[in-house]
Each structure stands twice: as structure tokens, then as C-alpha cells.
Amino acid sequence: MSAAQPFFVTTPIYYVNDQPHLGHAYPTVAADVLARFMRLDGRRVRFLTGTDEHGQKVARSAEALGVTPQQFADQVSAAFREMDRLLDISNDDYIRTTEERHLRGVQALWRELERRGEIYLGRFTGWYCVRDEAFYDESELIAGPNGAKLGPTGAEVEWLEEENYFFRLSAWQERLLAWYEANPEAVAPRSRRNEVISFVRSGLKDLSVSRTSFSWGVPVPEHPGHVVYVWLDALINYITALGYPDQRGDYSTFWPADVHVVGKDIIRFHAVYWPAFLMAAGLEPPRRIFAHGWWTIEGQKMSKSLGNGIPPEALVGRYGVDPARYFLLRELPFGNDGDFSHRAVVGRINSDLANGIGNLAQRVLVLIQRNCDGVVPAPDVLSAADEALLAAARGLQPQLREHIAEQAFHLALEAIWRVIAEADRHINDEAPWELRTSDPARMRTVLYALAETLRHLAILLQPFMPGSAARLLDQLAVPPAARQFADLATPLAPGRRLPPPAGIFPRYVETDTAAS
Ligand code: ME8
């Protein structure tokens, strides 16, 4: 047997200056679905998430609270771990940039860049934005109220004059363009790829990669007073978590990453700087970077000052973990911006979950319970309509593979829901409850085809709604060892006793007046 093909997926590592909210839950849930899908598909998966703990922004937030940056980071990093637990996230590792394994790797990569002549000492004069932890060119700035200068994201900028180390980014312009050209799938979606290419074509300047005006960072080796620029520090997490500088072991198995899931706000760092740093150090760039879009809340930008970021516990407490996960990935094409509204979530829960998969499962399971003594019925000869339904169910997995390879979660879910609709039609057309006396063999065949369809649906829903899909598989008496995608090919065994049916996807009923 050949060894399972590795798959490495990452989320951004989150700044600890903010409490986790829906915007952070989003890439984490998406990456979790990719990881779970690939595990079920027989791949050897490494799924990494974590927290970004250095830099001026974090140092200032800690100072404002009167705690040390490390104490502050410990607290908030724990809140992100709790978010992962609440959202049923199956990460294999959790990296914090203040860990020793990370520090060592950052310094090793720095030394390698320096050894290769990719870093030189210079003087930075220009604009820096602490909120974005980014350097901006004068030409990128926009005018704020009272003529103040703001970064392109609308955040305040500060004038900076410091002795800094610089990375020779300008030397990598042509090689980056050649890399995008040779790897058309490396930056997605297409609109982001175009944006990145035109940014690089417009000319790259060398990038300041150390800071001297504060100390909360990884010390630059052999150059006291300098700390590594927080973005260089942060990006390296993707390889320090694999054991870099040791290039054997996990690094050799899992690098290059299969997908870095990131927000569109940080595409430049991941699709320009990161591949340039790696190539400059003689390492391979990632295989793919996918930038998702931006959520607003009830039509408003999510922001600390508006205090409207929905914390994970509110999300899960109100809707349940699986409905929340489902909504996030079904509502928008991954890559697009969209609005999170209570009404939209309730609409999805009631129409897609309760009336869709929930209703179908309940109808089939109750019919089997009542009419087949609660055991999976043995089919007689399948009709053309039964065969058509089963063919649709069997055709799902290859379709899902294609959609998931492109991070098109909404298309994967749409495909699953088309089969749910077909199964609903089948049950209505065949009216198995009427066949009980007129043609019991036909009734058993119809119910078998429906139960087998349900098994396909439940197995394929596992990455999206792991808890609910597991309960559905329990109700179909599918043992935990038979829930991999490879098991789709082995049909449900007739004669197996099913537990009493119990609803899995309840309707959302308003219980308070907080709803909009
Ligand atoms: O940028 N809608 O961390 P971060 C959608 N530490 N996604 C959102 C969102 C929203 N309203 N708000 C936040 C950083 N996000 C760096 C990353 S990686 C080496 C370092 C998501 O905590 C979005 O994916 O500010 C964004 O990229 C991510 O949260 C991280 O935000």
C-alpha cells in the first residue's frame, strides 16, 4: 500500500490584541472543513492554527491594560484555543509565536537570509501603521478627516525614522512574476491573483524587516537592539511548526503547504512577501494561498470601536455549533464579502437544515421504524428512479473533491442539497407509506434506496457538521470505523437494527426579543 499523500492546511495566526470573533471563526472553520475532508479522503493531514503575539500593536494593548505583553498574550491566546474547542476545530497543532520552537526557527531563517546576502542594514524613513503592522508608501495613503493621513485601510499612520535591516524584495520582482505565471492556482481567487500580480508589476521596494524603537519581538541574532519585523516573524510560523530549521521529519513531509487560508486583507503578506522570503532562503513557496472575503454584521463593519464583533460563544450558544459552521460556509462563495444577519442565519437553519436534511432524515428513519420493524430493509429489484437517486448520491464525492480542491465550499454544499431535493422528490413520488399494504416489497426497496442515499449524505456532511453528521450515522447504525469516504462504496447492510429515530436538526424558534 502506498503511503497516504500528505496535506498541510493553515489558518492565519491571530493577533492577540483582539478577542476572538466571528471574523476569526471564519477562516478557522473553513480550514477545519478542508482538514476533515482530506482526512476522510484518506490523506495524511496536518492542520495548523495559532496566535501572533509579537509587535507594537500587541505591546501597546498590553501596556494600556497594565500587564506584560506575555501575560496579555497568554490570556488572549487561551481565548482563541477556547474558540477552537467551541467550534469543534480539529487542528493537529497550535503555534504561538512566543514559543521557543518558533523563536529558534525565526532566528535560523534570519541567519540564512543574511548569509545569502538578502538582508542589509539601512535607514527607514516613511509611514508605518501600527494597527495593520504595515509600512505604507506615500502614494498609498488616503486623506482622513481634518486632512490627517491614513493608511489604505483607513487606519492611522505614524512617521518613522529608524535604523532598520532591509530585505532585498526588489530583487525578487521578476522571480515572483515568473512564479505566479508558472503556478496559476497558487493565488486564489482570480481577482486576488490579478491584484497581487499588478502590485508586483508596479514595482517592489526593499522591505524593512527589523525594528529598533521597541523590544517586544524576536531579537535579531547578533544585532542587539533590533527585533524582527512582526510579519516576517509571523509568517515563519508555518514552517517552525513543522520543525524548521530541521528540514527532515515533518518539514520534509508537509512542506510546501497545500493551502494557506487567509483573509483578503493579508493577501499581500502571504502572496508577495512570504514566497519571496522563502525563495530567498532557498526554500519552496507554498502551493496555494486562498483569500476569503470580509463579513459585515447586520450591514455594519465589524470593529472593536463599534463592539459588534460576535464572540464565538454567542454564535454557538444561540445557533449551535453545526448550524453556525454551516451558515458561514453556505451563505457566501468563499472569497466574496457578505453580511451576517440573524435573519439570514435563521432562514438557513429552518429551510436548509430543519426542512431540508433534517426533515428528509426524520421521514426516512420514522418510516423504517414503523414499517420495517426498525431494521434496514432488504431491497428487491431497484426501479429506474431508485437507481437514478442512488447514482446522484454516488456521484457526489467526485464533485465534492473538485469543489473542495478549489475551496468552493458553497458549491460543495449546493451539490449535497441537490441530492437532498432529489431524495425528497423520490419519497413524495413513491409514497412508501401507501405501499405498505399494496406492495410491501416495493416499499422496502424504496426505503432502502432512501436510507442508502442518507448514508452518503451523512458521510459527506461530516467535514461541515461533524457532530450532527455523526448522530445521523449513529441513527443509520453505521459504525464509526465505516465512515471514511472509501466506505461510501460499501452499501448499507440490510437487516441491521436501527436505534429509535430522534430529530437532529431542530427548527430555530425565537426565544427572546433580541432578534432583529
Ligand atoms: O492579520 N471578516 O491577524 P488578525 C472576515 N496576525 N474575516 C475576518 C474579519 C471579518 N470581519 N475580521 C478578521 C493578522 N478576519 C495577522 C496574521 S498570519 C501569518 C498573521 C480574519 O487577528 C481574516 O482572515 O488581525 C484575517 O486575515 C484574520 O482574521 C486574521 O486577523
**E strand segments, 280-380:** 289-292, 295-297, 300-301, 338-340
Q: Structure pTM?
A: 0.97
User: Which pLDDT band, with edges at 50, 70 and 90, does 367 fall under?
Assistant: very high
Q: Percent of the chain, pLDDT > 70?
A: 98
How remote is the CA of residue 26 from the centroid of ligand 1, in Å?
Answer: 9
Assess contact for 268 and 136: CB atoms under 8 A.
Answer: no
Q: Is 235 in the pocket of ligand 1 (CB under 6 A)?
A: yes
Q: Is the pLDDT of residue 516 over 70?
A: no
Residues 38 and 43: their CA atoms lie apart, in Å, by 5
pLDDT digits (tens, 9 = 90+) for 118-132: 999 999 999 999 999
Looking at residues 427-441, what average pLDDT do you find?
Answer: 96
Q: Is 295 in the pocket of ligand 1 (CB under 6 A)?
A: yes
Q: Is the pLDDT of residue 445 over 80?
A: yes
User: Which pLDDT band, with edges at 50, 70 and 90, does 512 fall under?
Assistant: low
User: Which pLDDT band, with edges at 50, 70 and 90, does 2 fall under?
Assistant: low
Looking at residues 66-81, what average pLDDT do you find?
Answer: 97
How remote is the CA of residue 491 from the centroid of ligand 1, in Å?
Answer: 43
**Residue 435 confidence (pLDDT):** 96
**Residue 301 confidence (pLDDT):** 80
166: closest CA among 222, 111, 129, 121? 121
pLDDT digits (tens, 9 = 90+) for 448-474: 999 999 999 999 999 999 999 999 999
Assess contact for 324 and 315: CB atoms under 8 A.
Answer: yes
92: closest CA among 43, 56, 126? 43
User: Which pLDDT band, with edges at 50, 70 and 90, does 305 fall under?
Assistant: low
How remote is the CA of residue 220 from the centroid of ligand 1, in Å?
Answer: 26
Assess contact for 204 and 173: CB atoms under 8 A.
Answer: yes
pLDDT digits (tens, 9 = 90+) for 224-236: 999 999 999 999 9
Spatial CB neighbours of 510, under 8 Å, sequence gap ≥ 6 = none
Ligand 1 atom nearest to CA at 238 = 19
Location of C-alpha cell 512574476: 177
**Residue 147 confidence (pLDDT):** 82
Q: Percent of the chain, pLDDT > 90?
A: 94
Residues 97 and 430: their CA atoms lie apart, in Å, by 59
pLDDT digits (tens, 9 = 90+) for 468-508: 999 999 999 999 999 999 999 999 999 999 999 999 999 99
Q: Is the pLDDT of residue 307 over 90?
A: no
How remote is the CA of residue 223 from the centroid of ligand 1, in Å?
Answer: 31
Question: Cα angle vertex 416, ends 458, 295, to 5°?
Answer: 105
How remote is the CA of residue 430 from the centroid of ligand 1, in Å?
Answer: 50
**Residue 299 confidence (pLDDT):** 84
Q: Give the DSSP H/E element, type plus range, for residue 433.
A: helix 432-438
Buried b or exposed e, range 28-57, using 16+ CB within 10 angstroms: bbbbbbbbbbbbbbebebbbbbbbbbbbbb
Domains within the chain, CATH numbers bracketed: 342-489 (1.10.730.10)
Task: Give Cα 190 distance to the centre of its chain.
Answer: 18
* Mean per-residue pLDDT over the chain, rounded: 96
Label residue 351 exposed, middle or buried (CB < 10 Å: 0-12, 13-18, 19+): exposed
**Residue 1 confidence (pLDDT):** 47
Q: Is the pLDDT of residue 392 over 90?
A: yes
DSSP for 252-308?
HHHPSPSEEEEEGGGHHIIIIIHHHHHHHTT-PPPS-EEEE--EEETTEE--TTTT-
pLDDT digits (tens, 9 = 90+) for 234-261: 999 999 999 999 999 999 999 999 999 9
Residue whose CA is at the smallest distance from ligand 1 atom 25: 15
Q: 372: helix, coil or strand?
A: coil
- Distances in Å between the Cα of 145 and the Cα atoms of 130, 152, 336, 488 are 19, 14, 29, 60
Cell numbers linked to 515: 432578534
How remote is the CA of residue 25 from the centroid of ligand 1, in Å?
Answer: 10
Ligand 1 atom nearest to CA at 261 = 24
Residues 218 and 226: their CA atoms lie apart, in Å, by 9
Q: Is 15 in the pocket of ligand 1 (CB under 6 A)?
A: yes
**Residue 289 confidence (pLDDT):** 98
DSSP for 126-168?
EEEETTTTEEE-GGG-EE-GGG-EE-TTS-B-EEEEEEEEEE-
Residue whose CA is at the smallest distance from ligand 1 atom 3: 14
Which residues are bridge partners to 162 per DSSP? Answer: 124
Ligand 1 atom nearest to CA at 293 = 5
Which residues are bridge partners to 261 per DSSP? Answer: 290
Q: Is the pLDDT of residue 150 over 60?
A: yes
pLDDT digits (tens, 9 = 90+) for 31-65: 999 999 999 999 999 999 999 999 999 999 999 99
Q: Is the pLDDT of residue 332 over 60?
A: yes
How remote is the CA of residue 467 from the centroid of ligand 1, in Å?
Answer: 26
Structure-derived torsion over alpha carbons of residues 451, 452, 454, 455, reported in degrees to the nearest 10: 120
Residues 462 and 476: their CA atoms lie apart, in Å, by 14
